[in-house]
């Protein structure tokens, strides 16, 4: 049986989604859930599942995993055009942001959700596939090393 805290989290999340949907309707923002959006969301989830798997395979304890996850994810969030425009960042930060899968998945998801958005580009879709293939190659190598 689940903990009552799980039910509380579920109810709180449902309430947040309801508030978001009402605000979107009030502001006249229509979100388009299309097959292309679902593909971009799947690629986003796959990239970050692989990244989490790689981090889990690279560490030796749960404490190390939490520390390394924070070390990777926090900079990625701030360097990825999620909160701050990447073109306004200093040159080094901009180049680091271009290596982040979050940079491209953010643009893809925003571009497929928002009508009239210019953010979607098949170039970003291709870059996400390349990043996923690179992460998959690293994950395979780590699994082979662990099995050896």
pLDDT at 1: 47
Q: Which has more confidence, 82 or 137?
A: 137
State phi, psi for 142 to the nearest 5 degrees. Answer: -65, -40
- Tokens standing for 142? 């780590």
Single pTM value for the model: 0.75
Please indicate whether residue 72 or residue 47 has the higher confidence score (pLDDT). Answer: 47
Backbone angles phi, psi at 2, to 5 degrees: -75, 160
Given a cut of 70, whether residue 25 has pLDDT beyond it is yes
**pLDDT greater than 90 at residue 136:** yes
- At 49-78, the pLDDT tens digits run 999 899 888 888 777 777 777 788 888 888
């Amino acid at each position: 049986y689940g903990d009552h805290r799980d039910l509380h989290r579920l109810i709180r999340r449902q309430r947040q989604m309801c508030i978001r949907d009402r605000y979107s309707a009030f502001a006249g923002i229509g979100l388009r859930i299309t097959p292309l959006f679902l593909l971009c969301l799947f690629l986003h989830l796959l990239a970050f599942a692989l990244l989490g798997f790689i981090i889990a395979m690279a560490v030796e304890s749960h404490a190390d995993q939490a520390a390394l996850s924070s070390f990777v994810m926090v900079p990625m969030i701030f360097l990825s055009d999620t909160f701050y425009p990447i073109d306004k960042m200093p040159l080094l930060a901009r180049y680091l942001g271009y290596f982040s899968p979050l940079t491209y998945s953010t643009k893809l998801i925003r571009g497929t959700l928002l009508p009239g958005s210019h953010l979607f580009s098949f170039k970003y879709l291709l870059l996400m596939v390349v990043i996923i293939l690179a992460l998959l190659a690293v994950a395979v190598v780590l699994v082979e090393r662990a099995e050896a």
